[in-house]
Amino acid sequence: MPDSPRHLDARPRSILVTGATGNVGREIVERLRSHDVNVRSLARRHIESRPGFESVAGDLTDPAVVRAALAGIDAVFLIWPLLDTAPAEPLLAELSAIQTHLVYLSSTAVDDPAAHQSDPIVQVHADMEALLHGAGLHPTVLRSDTLASNTRGWAAQLLAGDVVRGPDIARTAVVDERDVAAAAVAALLARNEELDRDSYLLTGPELLSRSDQVDLLGAALGRPLRFEAVPSELARARMLADGRNEQLVDALLAASTHRPDSTLVTDHVERLTGQPARTFARWSFDHAAEFTRRR
């Protein structure tokens, strides 16, 4: 059982989903449709409302937006998409004021004993977890491995050819974002006694390198795809030329350079959802159309 009590003894009636237009968030919103709960989304882009669902458009760092989004809410799915936790202060204050049941999406790369994390992306998750705990919010933390949906970043290259070029990255147990969403829904809807941990490590079933992922995607597409690792400096120049944010580019490259190979494969998706984690081969098959040019 978690050491700290959560704030819900009954199932929530109104859930806020942050990052609701993103890979994980939209899967959560979709899954919550089949449950008897009111859902509100928060993202900068607006989503059309429907019965039982409303959208708040605004920034997670804007106190007025966050206050409006949290009004009447009794459970929150929280992501923190920024590379710095300083702008989270108003959000933390608003969350503390209502003491809701909080599910935070973090990273399996967080190394608890380390004084400093491997790269800025992991550091922000470690810092955010510490801030949420420090504020007495008793979050249920879902630490996710590399999301399979990151593969969507290869779509432009694969619509143009059969080679994926980019920085190499450590081997990890890539996890399907649908499994992360299903785990989040289970955690959001659970009563206190139904969660056996404060923190879950959500992984896919097998450790994969970038090259393994490209091979599996190629098998699903019926094409002989190839991964070609690009040195950091060249990858940096290309990403900046594509108009990507410099701080993000440097954080991604630091992750590719400093994040160690993972050996972690868990059954925590199944513990929360009752279903084993999907393979990347399955993800590739289900999303093949996104990488295939229409004739």
Ligand X SMILES: NC(=O)c1ccc[n+]([C@@H]2O[C@H](COP(=O)([O-])OP(=O)(O)OC[C@H]3O[C@@H](n4cnc5c(N)ncnc54)[C@H](OP(=O)(O)O)[C@@H]3O)[C@@H](O)[C@H]2O)c1
The footprint of ligand X (CB under 6 A) covers 19-25, 43-45, 59-61, 79-81, 105, 107, 144, 146-147, 149-150
Taking the complex as a whole, how short is the minimal distance between the CB of residue 170 and ligand X, in angstroms? 12
Q: Are strands 75-78 and 199-202 parallel, antiparallel or unpaired?
A: unpaired
State the CB neighbour count (10 A cutoff) for residue 273.
20
Rounded distance, CA 294 to CA 249, Å? 31
Using the minimum distance from each CB to ligand X, give the nearer residue, 23 or 192.
23
Q: What is the 3-state secondary structure (H, E, C) of 164-185?
A: EEECCCCCECCECHHHHHHHHH
Q: DSSP string spanning 186-211?
A: HHHH--GGG---SEEEE--SS-B-HH
CB of 294 to ligand X, least distance (A): 23
Minimum CB–partner distance for residue 23 and ligand X (Å): 4
Residue matched to tokens 């989503």:
47
The region, left, alpha or beta by phi > 0 then psi within -120 to 50, assigned to residue 13 is: alpha
Identify which of residues 103 and 190 has a Cβ nearer to ligand X in the complex.
103
Residue number of the CB closest to ligand X reads 22
Q: Are 87 and 61 in contact (CB under 8 A)?
A: yes
Terminal alpha carbon distance of the chain: 54
Residue with smaller CB distance to ligand X, 20 or 131: 20
Task: Give me the least distance between CB of 30 and ligand X, in Å please.
Answer: 13
SS3 145: coil
Question: CB-wise, 17 or 135, nearer to ligand X?
Answer: 17
Give least dist CB 81 to ligand X, A. 4
Nearest CA among 81, 84, 92 for reference residue 25: 81
Instruction: Considering the complex, state which of residue 150 and residue 162 has its C-beta at the smaller distance from ligand X.
Output: 150
Q: In the complex with ligand X, which residue's Cβ is closer, 222 or 243? A: 243
Residue 79 Cβ vs ligand X, minimum distance, rounded to whole Å: 4
Beta-ladder partners of 166: 229
